[in-house]
């Protein structure tokens, strides 16, 4: 039976693992991205995530990921088979860009990004459109009303946030309830099996699902958690393969995570599964529904990660990896909610 997670109060039912596309179009081999997209759909997937800023860190083309996805959609005719997500409002990161690194979250900024995303993706609407960052100098009311305008115009169906603090998400929930809006349908922030013991993130604009943000998702299941970096940037695979050069400088390369890697190895032996599957199984045992994002340029890796859903992991396999500030009762019922 095909697996789906229904986002409350929407008509969106999504595959439990989303396909991240930050590197789409950077592969040397022609057609590599298209093969990844097709493999993901063949495995039952339907949730594709990109952003207007992907992959502007590589010179030569702006919004490359959106353009590659748009080319595939136009060629394949598969637009109606996917839930398409993109994000706008990120600071400029391209070398030489004016105002590089400065916040750009105004209504005009968002409209510029959204309309260019629609052109790049060759579609008339985005299923879930995200604020890629937040600007606390603006009111939540301003930001919500900008998104509501896009909904009324038919350019987006639903909206969401990425890298927001819990207090701002709570403000958004309260405002939307007052106005009768559906409000944020999802939140993208960092959550994974290695987060508990990782070093502090170098990028101060990124947010982790811990503390108040963790409790927010327990108390607000209508805002689906979509963790990025679900695979811990490949740290555990690289560590267990002895690829020491590749993990130098990794935020996950801590003594506690090196110890955790041995527990992950034990899971691979217990279930006969891959390291990736053991790492991604973590998301089934959260106290709220999670749809982690996984990015790769390999069709074989796509098939492997989708196979996670067939492994009969148990709650006790992941207890030691859960946040220490998690309420003790919060695991009840989580496998069914995430299945």
221 neighbors 288 (Cβ within 8 angstroms): yes
Cα–Cα distance for residue pair 187/175, rounded to 1 Å: 17
276 neighbors 231 (Cβ within 8 angstroms): yes
DSSP, res 131: E
Residue 305's Cα: distance from chain center in Å? 15
- Pairing type for strands 83-88 and 126-131 reads parallel
Q: How many CB atoms lie under 10 A from the CB of residue 142? A: 13
- Of the residues 15, 40, 54, 252, only one is catalytic, namely 54
175 neighbors 144 (Cβ within 8 angstroms): yes
Of 321, 197, 315, residue with least CA distance to 263: 321
Of 76, 75, 86, 91, residue with least CA distance to 41: 76
Of 94, 88, 134, residue with least CA distance to 115: 88
Of 136, 116, 111, residue with least CA distance to 50: 116
To the query of whether residue 252 is one of the catalytic residues in this protein, the response is no
Cα–Cα distance for residue pair 210/199, rounded to 1 Å: 14
Cα–Cα distance for residue pair 252/247, rounded to 1 Å: 8
Write out the catalytic residue numbers.
54
């Amino acid at each position: 039976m095909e697996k789906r997670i229904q986002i409350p109060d929407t008509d969106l039912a999504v595959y439990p693992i989303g396909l991240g596309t930050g590197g789409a179009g950077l592969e040397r081999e022609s057609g590599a991205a298209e093969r990844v997209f097709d493999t993901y759909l063949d495995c039952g997937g339907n949730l594709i995530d990109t952003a207007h800023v992907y992959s502007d860190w590589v010179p030569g083309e702006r919004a490359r990921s959106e353009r590659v996805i748009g080319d595939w959609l136009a060629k394949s005719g598969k637009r109606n088979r996917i839930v398409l997500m993109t994000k706008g409002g990120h600071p400029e990161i391209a070398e030489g860009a004016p105002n590089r690194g400065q916040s750009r979250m105004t209504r005009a900024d968002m409209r510029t990004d959204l309309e260019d995303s629609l052109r790049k993706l060759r579609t008339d609407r985005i299923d879930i459109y995200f604020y890629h960052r937040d600007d606390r100098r603006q009111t939540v009311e301003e930001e919500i009303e900008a998104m509501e305008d896009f909904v009324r115009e038919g350019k987006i169906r639903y909206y969401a946030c990425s890298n927001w603090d819990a207090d701002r998400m709570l403000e958004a929930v309260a405002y939307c309830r007052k106005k009768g809006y559906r409000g944020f349908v999802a939140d993208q922030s960092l959550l994974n099996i290695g987060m508990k013991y990782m070093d502090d993130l170098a990028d101060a604009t990124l947010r982790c699902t811990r503390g108040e943000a963790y409790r927010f998702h327990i108390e607000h299941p209508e805002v689906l958690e979509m963790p990025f970096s679900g695979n811990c940037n490949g740290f555990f695979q690289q560590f267990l393969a002895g690829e020491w050069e590749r993990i130098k400088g990794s935020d996950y390369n801590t003594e506690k995570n090196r110890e955790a890697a041995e527990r992950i190895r034990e899971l691979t032996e217990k279930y006969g599964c891959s390291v990736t599957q053991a790492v991604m199984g973590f998301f089934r045992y959260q106290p709220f529904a999670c749809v982690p994002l996984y990015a790769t340029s390999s069709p074989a890796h796509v098939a492997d990660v989708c196979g996670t859903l067939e492994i009969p992991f148990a709650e006790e396999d992941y207890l030691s990896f859960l946040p220490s500030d998690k309420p003790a009762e919060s695991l009840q019922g989580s496998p069914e909610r995430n299945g």
